[in-house]
């Protein structure tokens, strides 16, 4: 198991290096459009997280213990990571706590809402859903559509499938790079 954890960490680091290059290229080629797209994506995730926090989700999640956080290493997509690159933040990861999410701590997610995986922001369990008002549910649906549109737009602009989990995206890129 330790070998797999070390491999995941090396893959994480290699993927992040590739993303730094991609971000630099995109910032140079698309400048303001690229930065605005990343800012919009992050902002939408913050708005969704705020709506969820309003129903005291932290207490619900704390009582649950994070069942939705199992196997979380594949939740973080390439666009989520690019948002971190853009603000020069590299999340701390702990692949030794498998099957729990490598971004989790005893206090919950170590990632702030703008950097949290879209999958995690978009998922709403039954316990939280029951506490949401109808207007909040409607707003979450609208925001989710916008998050997904940002993912599509960023992927189109970059010519990359940025909704792909980072570890899978990086593995494919690193394998193709090493065979060149």
pLDDT surpassing 80 at residue 99:
no
The residues, ordered by sequence, that sit 6+ positions from 65 with a Cβ below 8 Å of its Cβ are: none
Structure-model confidence comparison of residues 118 and 70, the more confident one: 118
Q: What is the tens place of the pLDDT at every residue in 5-52?
A: 788 999 999 999 999 999 999 999 999 999 999 999 999 999 999 999
What is the Cα–Cα distance from 131 to 120, expressed in whole angstroms? 18
Work out the mean pLDDT of the chain and round it to a whole number.
Answer: 90
The residue-averaged pLDDT of 94-116 equals 85
Residue 107 has what pLDDT?
77
Q: What is the tens place of the pLDDT at every residue in 122-136?
A: 999 999 999 999 999
Pairing assessment for the beta strands 104-105 and 108-109 based on DSSP bridges: antiparallel
Residue 180 has what pLDDT?
64
Residue 40 has what pLDDT?
98
What secondary structure does DSSP assign to 47-115, as a single string? HHHHHHHTTTHHHHHHHHT-GGGBTGGGT-BHHHHHHHHHTT------GGGTTB-TTEETTEESS-GGG
The residue-averaged pLDDT of 79-90 equals 95
What is the Cα–Cα distance from 111 to 118, expressed in whole angstroms? 11
How large a percentage of the chain has pLDDT more than 90?
68
Residue 4 has what pLDDT?
57
Cβ atoms of residues 86 and 17 within 8 Å: no
What is the Cα–Cα distance from 6 to 26, expressed in whole angstroms? 30
């Amino acid at each position: 198991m330790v070998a797999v954890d070390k491999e995941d960490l090396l893959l994480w680091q290699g993927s992040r290096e590739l993303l730094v290059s991609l971000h630099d290229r995109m910032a140079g080629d698309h400048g303001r459009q690229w930065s605005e797209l990343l800012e919009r994506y992050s902002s939408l995730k913050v708005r969704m997280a705020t709506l969820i926090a309003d129903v005291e989700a932290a207490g619900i999640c704390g009582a649950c213990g994070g069942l939705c956080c199992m196997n979380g290493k594949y939740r973080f997509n390439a666009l989520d990571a690019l948002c971190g690159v853009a603000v020069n933040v590299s999340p701390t990861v702990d692949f030794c706590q498998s099957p729990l999410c490598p971004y989790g701590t005893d206090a919950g997610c170590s990632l702030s809402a703008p950097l949290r995986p879209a999958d995690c922001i978009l998922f709403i369990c039954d316990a939280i859903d029951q506490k949401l008002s109808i207007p909040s549910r409607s707003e979450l649906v609208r925001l989710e559509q916008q998050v997904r549109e940002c993912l599509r737009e960023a992927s189109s602009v970059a010519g990359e499938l940025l909704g792909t989990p980072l570890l899978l995206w990086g593995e494919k890129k690193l394998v193709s790079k090493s065979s060149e």
